A and B are shown apart, each in its own frame.
Chain A
Amino acid sequence: MSQKISRRDFLKLATAGGATAAVLTGCGPASRYVTREPYVKMPEYTYNGLSTYYATTCRECAAGCGLIVRTMQGRAIKAEGNPANPVNLGKTCARGQATLQGLYNPDRVEAPVKQARQQALAAEAMNWDDATQLVADALNNTNPAEIAFLMGTASDHLFDLVTDLTNAIGAPAPVRFGALSMFESRATLSKAAEKSLGQAGLPYFDLGNADLVISFGANFLETWLSPVAYTRGFAKMRRGNSKKRGYMVHFESQMSQTAAKADEWIPLLPGTEGLVALALGRLVAEATGGSVARVFSTVDVREVSIQSGIPLEQLEHVASLIAEAQAPLAIPGGQALGQTNGLANAEAILALNALADNFGKPGGALLSPLAPNEDTYHRPANAREMKDFIAKLNSGSVKVLFVHGVNPIFELPKALGFADALAAVPTVISFATFPDETALASDYIFPDHHGLEAWGYQRSATGTMQSALSGAQPVVSPMYDTRSTADVLIEAARLAGGKLAEALPFTDEVAFIQSKIASLIGRTDGSFVAPEINSFTSYFQQHGGWWKTAAESAVLSAAGALNKNLNVNAAVFAGEGEFFFVPFVSPTLGEAGANKPWLQELPDPMTTVMWNTWVAINPETAHELNLENDDVVKVISEAGEVEAAVYLYPAIHPGVIAMPFGQGHTAYGRFAMARLLESRLVGLVPRAGEVGDPFPRGANPADVLGAYFNEAGDLAFAGMKVKIEKTGEKQYLSRLESRIGVYGEGLPQEGH
C-alpha cells in the first residue's frame, strides 16, 4: 500500500474491510470537520439517500465504548456500537443510544457567554476571539500555583493536553472527578488491588469464564465501571457454556437491577459485606478440608450471621456452592465499598478470590491492562481529595478555576460545600456543553463541542483485557458556535507565548492527538499497522481507535491476600435516624442523563418509574409508618434533607431505604427540570409560583450525604442513617407497571 492514502483509496479500503458497513473519514488536515453541505455541493463521498457511517467514542460515561454513528446529509441519525471495539463489541447501553439527544438537545450553550454567576444562562454572546484572549490572559497573568483545572472523566485527550500544559508552567495537575467514579469507589478498588493483587490499577472480573458469581453489592449490570462489557460477561457466564449454566448469588440490602438477575438475592445489613466474605471463606476452607488461611482465621461465623442478619444455614449453603464450583468469582462493589470499612470489605471479598486461586486466571480477578499510550493508571479523585480541593478553593489560593466535563455542584454531596467554595474563587471559567448547575455558577462559559462533534480519544480503563485506545472524531459539523476546548487552550497558549506556547506547539487539536498517538506508528501488535502519521490517523479514525489484538494479563499472586491479618471493623454510620440510607446511580440516567428526554422516559428496570425520584421502602415498614405509594416523605440526615415520593418496594431490607441518584437538578435544561402544571398527576405538591415555572424534577440524594469516607478516601455514601417524615402531600409517580391514575382509577377519592 502506498504511504499516503487518497480519499478514494480510502473509500475502497473502507468498503473492503466493511464488517460494519463502510466507515468513512475525512483524511488530512483539509477535512477536519465534516460539513453539512447543501445538495448542490455534495461531498464526493455522499450520495443522496445513502448514509455515511463514522466511528467514534461514546462520552456518556468514561468506559470508552466505540460507536458507529449513522449520518445522513450531515445529520447524525443513529448511534450503534462499534463491533471492532474490544470494550463493547458492537453493543451499547441505553445511555449510549440516547447520546444523540444530547447533541440535538434544545438546551445547549450555543455560544461563549459572560455568565457572571447568574441564575439563568446569560443571553448575550461573546465572540471567540475575546473568549480565547480571556483564557490566555487568565493563564498568563495568574501565578501558575493559583490556577486550577477541574475535569471530568472523559475525554482523556483533553486531560493529557491540560496535564502537559500544567506541567510546563508549574501549575497543579488537573483534578478529575465524576459522580459515577464516586459511586464506583474507584480509589477503593485500586487500593484493594494494590494490597491484594500486588499492583495498583482497576481490577477486572472475568465473569464470562466463571461458573459461580458471588457479588457483594457490585451493580455491574447497571452503571458500574464498564456495564456493557460486564453484561456481555454475564451473558457468557449464564449461557456461554452449553454444559453448565452459570449461577449467581448477590448480597445487597436492596434488590438492585443486578441483584434481580441473581439466582439468589440475599439481603443483609449494609456494612457487613466484608464480614460475610470472611465467614464464607472460613466455611469454604473448612468444607474443603484445607487449612484455614490466616485472613479467615479470626472470624466468628456465628457472630457474622447475627450481625449481617443472614441465617447461618444460608451462609453454609453459599459456602457449599463455592466449594463445589469449578470457577467461583467474588466481586466487590456498590454499597459494600461505600462504607467507612469499604476498603477492608473489598480486601475480604478479594480474599475469597484468592482462596479460589483465580487471581490473573480466566474466570478470576484480573488487573485491567493500561491503555496503549498510558504509563500508569490515573484514577479520578476520590471524595476526600475533592474535599481537600474544596478546602483549597475556600482558602482563596485559587485565583482561576477552569471546569470541564463535570458538574460538581450537582454531583458532589452538598455537605462538601462546593457551591459555596466557588465564591472564594475570583474567576471561574466553564467549558460546559450544557447549562448545568456549575456552568451557571461560573463567570464565563466557553462551550465545548458535544462529544459527537469533537475529536479525542478515551483510554479504556477496564472492560477488556486488550489494551485499548478508543478514538473519537466529529460525525457532524458543530451545531452551534461552540469551540473545542483543546483548540481554545492551544490558541490561548499561543497568544500567551513563552512557556505556555512551548508546551502546546500545535496547530490544532488534531495535531495534538497525532502527537500522542504517534508512538503507536509501526507497532505490529495492534488492530492495524500504518507506516506514518497521516495514514495512521486515517486508520485510527476509520477503526475508531487502536487496540492490541491479544489479551494481556499480569501474573498475580494470591499469597498476599490470604496470609495477612484483616480486621473488618464494624461500619460506622453517621446520624441518628432509624434507617440505613442507600443511594445508587439510576441505571437509566447515570450521572448526566437527566437532560435527555428519552432517558427520562425509560422506566427504571426495577420500579418502572419514569421522569422522577422515588424513595424505596419495604411495604411492611411503610405499613408501620402509615405510608402508601406516592406519599411524599422528607428524608432527613444530619447533613440535610430531601423530599420524594414513596415507592413500596417489596425487595428491600426493612431497615433500609434507597434512592436513585441522577435527578433533582436545579438547572441543566428543560428536561432535567419539571414545570409547574395545573394537573392532577404531577406537581400536586403545593409549590410557590406560576404555572409553567421550572422547579427541580425529583430530588438529589447527594443532598443528604455527609462528608464521611472509607479508608481509601472514597465517599461512604451508604454510611448514613436517616429518618423519614410523612409530609402529608402526594406526588403521583409516573410508572409503567400500573395504570394507576388512568381515569382516576386507584387514586384516593379525597381531594377530587
Chain B
Amino acid sequence: MTVDLNLVGAKGAIAEAAEGKWGMSIDQDICTGCQACVAACAMENNISFVGEEDAGYGRSQHWIRIERFWEGAYPEVKATPFQPMLCQQCGHAPCEPVCPVFATPHSEAEQLNLQVYNRCVGTRYCANNCPYQVRSFNWRDYHTIPERGNMVNGTLVFPLHNQFNPDVTVRRRGVMEKCTFCIQRIHKAQDKAKSEGREVEDGEFTTACAQACPANAITFGRVDHPESLVSQLTHQKRGEKHLEELNTLPRVTYLKEG
C-alpha cells in the first residue's frame, strides 16, 4: 500500500487502508434483544452487578447493552431494531489520546483498544470522550460489598466469588473498564494454535456474547481475512458502521433490516 502523505486526509487514508484485525458483525434483523449476550459477557468477564440504586444512577457495568428506541406514537408506534452496543474497538479511538496515564493504549498486535486496569487512575476522560458511551466506571468495590457475603465462623465469605474466571482481572473501585473482545479467548486460541504450529482458524473460538447468542446474530473473527465469515458478512450491502463520520474506524458492523 502506498499513500501520498502530502495529500489532505492522508492519515485517514492510511488508517482506512488498514482494516484492523479482529472485528464483529451484528445482524440487527435477527437480534431479538434477549439479553443472553449481556449475561454471557458478565459471566465471562467477572463484571460486577451494581444493585438497583446504582443502576438507576447509570452506573451499571454492562460491557454490552441492547438499545431500543421508539418511533412514532400509538398505534403507528415502532420499536427500532434492537441494537447491541459495545466497544467498537476503533482504529482511531477517541478514548485513547485523552488518557493522562496511558491506561488506554492501542494494541499494535491485536488492533484492539486496551484498558490497563492497574495503570488507570480513574479520571474518566476516556468515558467522556467515547461517542458510543460504552465505558463503565467502578464506583465502588462492588465484589466485596459486605451484604453480598455470608459470615461463616467470623469470616466474611463470598460464595459468588467461586465463579470468577481466572483468565480475567477482577477490577476494583476507581477503575474504568470496557469490552475487550474477550482478549483472554483470543490469546488462548493463539497459544493453542502456536503450540500446534498453525494459524488460528476462522470460527475456532469466539467471544462470549457471540457464543451465547441464540439467534446467531453476532459473528466474530478476522476482518483482515477476506474469506472469514465476519468479513463476508461485513461487506454485505446492509452493513453499516456507527458514527463513522467521526472517523473512529469502528470494527463492529451492524447489519440492518431489509
Contact = CB atoms under 8 A, between A and B. Distances in A.
Contact of B165 (A78, A90, A260, A618): A78
Contacts of B30: 234-235, 238-239
Nearest to A675: B147
Contact of B55 (A77, A98, A606, A611): A611
B162 interface: yes
B68 A601 contact: no
A260 B79 contact: yes
B36 A232 contact: no
B39 A221 contact: no
B60 interface: yes
A449 B246 CA distance: 53
A383 B144 CA distance: 43
Interface string B13-47: 00000000000000101101111101110111000
B223 to A, nearest CB: 20
Interface residues of B, number: 59
Nearest to B213: A91
A216 interface: no
A345 B43 CA distance: 41
A541 interface: no
B206 to A, nearest CB: 10
B150 interface: yes
A443 interface: no
A735 interface: yes
B160 A104 contact: yes
A610 B55 contact: yes
A598 B53 contact: no
Given A257-B32, A612-B52, A650-B74, A232 B214 contact: yes
Given A260-B79, A598-B49, A97 B36 contact: yes
A372 interface: no
A554 interface: no
Given A670-B147, A681-B57, A735-B56, A93 B79 contact: no
A426 interface: no
Which of A255, A611, A612, A732 has the largest count of B CB atoms less than 10 A from its CB?
Answer: A611
Contact of A651 (B40, B44, B70, B211): B70
Contacts of A654: 74
A75 B65 contact: no
A422 B70 CA distance: 47
A94 interface: yes
Contacts of B216: 91, 232, 235
Contact of B53 (A81, A96, A599, A677): A677
Contact of B163 (A75, A587, A610, A677): A75
B149 A231 contact: no
B142 to A, nearest CB: 10
Contacts of B213: 91
Nearest to B80: A260
A38 to B, nearest CB: 16
Nearest to A654: B74
Contacts of A104: 159-163
A100 interface: yes
Interface stretch (A497-505, A564-572, A736-744): A736-744
A79 B43 CA distance: 8
A239 B27 contact: yes
B12 interface: no
Contact of A741 (B57, B65, B74, B164): B57
Given A106-B159, A227-B214, A598-B39, A734 B53 contact: yes
B75 to A, nearest CB: 6
A34 interface: no
A300 interface: no
A602 interface: yes
Contacts of A75: 162-163
A479 B159 contact: yes
B39 A733 contact: no
A261 B29 CA distance: 8
A488 interface: no
Given A91-B213, A603-B65, A77 B35 contact: no
Contacts of B38: 94, 602-603
Contacts of B43: 78-79, 97-98, 100, 598
Interface in A694-743: 697, 732-737, 739, 741-742
B244 to A, nearest CB: 23
Contacts of B211: 80-81, 90
Contact of B39 (A97, A260, A650, A677): A97
A81 B37 CA distance: 13
A618 B150 CA distance: 43
A466 B34 CA distance: 25
Contact of A106 (B56, B68, B82, B158): B158
Given A79-B43, A235-B215, A601 B55 contact: yes
B49 A601 contact: yes
A650 B35 contact: no
Contact of B35 (A72, A94, A742): A94
Nearest to A618: B74
B83 to A, nearest CB: 12
B188 to A, nearest CB: 10
Nearest to A92: B212
A105 B39 contact: no
B217 interface: yes
B52 A610 contact: yes
A352 interface: no
Contacts of A307: none
B148 to A, nearest CB: 6
Interface string A244-270: 010000000001011011000101000
A675 B145 CA distance: 14
A512 to B, nearest CB: 29
A88 interface: yes
A598 B39 CA distance: 7
Which of A231, A599, A654 has the largest count of B CB atoms less than 10 A from its CB?
Answer: A231
Contacts of B78: 265
Contacts of A98: 39, 43
Nearest to B79: A260
Contact of B149 (A77, A106, A222): A106
Contacts of B49: 597-598, 600-601
Interface of A: 72, 75-81, 88, 90-98, 100-101, 103-106, 108, 221-222, 227-228, 231-232, 234-235, 238-239, 245, 255, 257-258, 260-261, 265, 267, 479, 587-588, 597-603, 605-606, 608, 610-612, 618-620, 650-652, 654, 670, 674-675, 677, 679, 681-682, 697, 732-737, 739, 741-742
Interface of B: 27, 29-30, 32-36, 38-40, 42-44, 49-53, 55-58, 60, 62, 65-68, 70, 73-75, 77-79, 82, 147-150, 158-166, 208, 211-217, 258
Given A104-B159, A479-B162, A682-B56, 19 more contacts: A78-B208, A81-B211, A81-B212, A94-B40, A97-B212, A104-B163, A227-B34, A227-B214, A232-B214, A238-B29, A239-B30, A587-B34, A598-B42, A601-B49, A601-B55, A603-B66, A605-B32, A608-B68, A652-B74
The 5 closest A-B pairs by CB, nearest first: A734-B56, A611-B52, A97-B39, A605-B33, A94-B39
9 contacts: A94-B35, A97-B212, A104-B163, A106-B158, A238-B29, A599-B39, A605-B66, A679-B53, A736-B65
